[in-house]
């Protein structure tokens, strides 16, 4: 049984607490730390089976009984806590992104050098049953040689402006999942990025220095072309679709609704809207993600996504941001690490 400490008890932290306590067979949470820990959160965590709560995450790092740390704190703390946890001899699961700053990610890479520790980055969509089935169809050769990838990812409503200001922008905060998904589906790296974008949802997002609607085209190292579209507003629910087209056919997956009932009558053909947000859409994927992290520790196997898989989507996001601002294609060779 792997003993875990969780740093951060916000939305993502609570989701991982729930997953580990109810769905992960070989992990147990000893301590949850959050600087804003209050009586209500502490009581909830303890009711889930968490042994201890604290406001000081260093209690987790200094506890010899804790094998692994889940970093679910604010993005600006991910890289520094990663380095501290690695130096404390802990296996690390870090929510995306490791950092917005490549120099800080390099510090994490250096901290890992020569250490027999697992470091996994939280790109949960790889563990979604539907997306994983698309990848498997590609691996099995069912569509021949890949030629085109299309991904649509649209949130039901924009986040708060305060969130936008600290998010790193739509490419670093939202589309970063899709950059990882393109790499996952194609098994290839990005060579060139071109972005067109606008502010079509909320003028305040533009005033905060970001965009809310974007299309990014990508040239992949295996010759495939990819197109991603993102919007901060989808009035019909959480829109998550992807398609891969190849020389022998196509594989795609569609949105997940509350149920798959289709009603056909004289008024037309209707079905349920997509589920409302990522917590509902990817709940199972989050549990599978953490299970895979615990498994790689127990079995001493490589982490499914390592620090390099965490780095590359950040680099692509930086290229997409430059392209959005400068209106030109950006080669990945321009982004130095």
Residue 28: band (very low, low, confident or very high) from pLDDT cuts 50, 70, 90 = very high
Q: How confident is the model at residue 278 (pLDDT cuts 50, 70, 90)?
A: confident
- Does position 260 have pLDDT exceeding 90, yes or no? no
Asked if 2-117 and 126-275+313-334 have one fold, the answer is no
Write down the pLDDT at residue 131.
Answer: 97
Four-way CATH pick for 2-117: 3.20.20.70, 3.30.70.260, 3.40.50.1100, 3.40.50.720: 3.40.50.720
Q: In this predicted model, what pLDDT tens digit does every residue of 185-206 receive, in sequence order?
A: 999 999 999 999 999 999 999 9
Examine the pLDDT at 277 and tell me if it is beyond 90. Answer: no
For the segment 231-247, what is each residue's pLDDT rounded down to a tens digit?
999 999 999 999 999 99
**For residue range 149-170, what is the model confidence (pLDDT) as tens digits?**
999 999 999 999 999 999 999 9
pLDDT averaged over every residue in the chain: 96
Mean predicted confidence (pLDDT) in 265-276: 92
Provide the pLDDT for residue 172.
97
pLDDT at 259: 86
Q: How far apart are CA 267 and CA 255, in angstroms?
A: 23
pLDDT, mean of residues 131-142: 98
Which residue ranges make up each domain of the chain?
Answer: 2-117, 126-275+313-334
| Residue 279 pLDDT class (50, 70, 90 cuts) | confident
What does the pLDDT average to over 132-137? 98
pLDDT for residue 249 is more than 90: yes
Provide the pLDDT confidence category of residue 258 given band limits of 50, 70 and 90: confident
296-306 pLDDT, tens per residue? Answer: 999 999 999 99
Among candidates 176, 167, 165, which has minimal Cα distance to 121? Answer: 176
Global confidence as pTM: 0.95
Residue 156, H or E segment: none
Mean pLDDT computed over 213-226: 98
Whole-number pLDDT of residue 280: 87
Percent of the chain at pLDDT > 70 equals 100
Output the pLDDT for position 164: 95
C-alpha distances out from residue 203 to 19, 172, 230, 323, Å: 37, 19, 17, 21
What's 115's DSSP letter?
-
How far CA 313 is from CA of 59, 104, 171, 309, 334, in Å, comes to 31, 15, 9, 7, 15
Instruction: Report the distance separating Cα 125 and Cα 284, nearest Å.
Output: 10
Domain 126-275+313-334 annotated CATH 3.10.20.70: no
How far is the C-alpha of 296 from the C-alpha of 294, rounded, in Å? 6
């Amino acid at each position: 049984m792997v003993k875990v400490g969780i740093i951060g008890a916000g939305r993502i932290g609570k989701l991982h607490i729930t997953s580990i306590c109810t769905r992960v067979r070989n992990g147990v949470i000893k301590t949850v730390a959050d600087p804003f820990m209050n009586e209500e959160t502490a009581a909830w965590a303890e009711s889930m089976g968490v042994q201890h709560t604290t406001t000081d995450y260093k209690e987790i790092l200094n506890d010899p009984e804790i094998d692994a740390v889940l970093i679910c704190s604010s993005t600006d703390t991910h890289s520094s806590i990663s380095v501290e946890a690695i130096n404390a001899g802990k296996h690390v699961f870090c929510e995306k992104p490791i950092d917005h700053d490549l120099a800080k990610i390099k510090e994490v890479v250096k901290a890992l050098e020569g250490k027999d520790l697992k470091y996994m980055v939280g790109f949960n969509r790889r563990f979604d049953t539907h997306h994983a089935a698309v990848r498997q169809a590609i691996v099995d050769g069912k569509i021949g040689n890949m030629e085109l990838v299309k991904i649509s990812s649209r949130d039901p409503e924009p986040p708060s402006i305060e969130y936008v200001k600290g998010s790193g922008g739509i490419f670093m905060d939202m589309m970063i999942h899709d950059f990882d998904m393109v790499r996952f589906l194609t098994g290839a790296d990005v060579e060139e990025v071109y972005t067109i974008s606008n502010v079509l949802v909320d003028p305040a997002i533009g005033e905060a220095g970001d965009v809310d609607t974007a299309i990014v085209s990508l040239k992949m190292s295996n010759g495939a072309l990819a197109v991603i579209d993102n919007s901060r507003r989808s009035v019909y629910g959480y829109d998550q679709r992807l398609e891969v087209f190849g020389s022998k056919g196509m594989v795609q997956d569609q949105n997940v609704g509350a149920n798959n009932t289709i009603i056909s009558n004289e008024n037309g053909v209707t079905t349920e809207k997509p589920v409302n947000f990522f917590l509902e859409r990817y709940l199972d994927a989050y549990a599978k993600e953490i299970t895979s992290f615990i498994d790689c520790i127990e079995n001493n196997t490589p982490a499914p996504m390592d620090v390099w898989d965490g780095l590359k989507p950040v680099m692509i996001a930086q290229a997409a941001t430059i392209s959005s601002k400068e209106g030109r294609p950006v080669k990945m060779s321009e982004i130095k690490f």
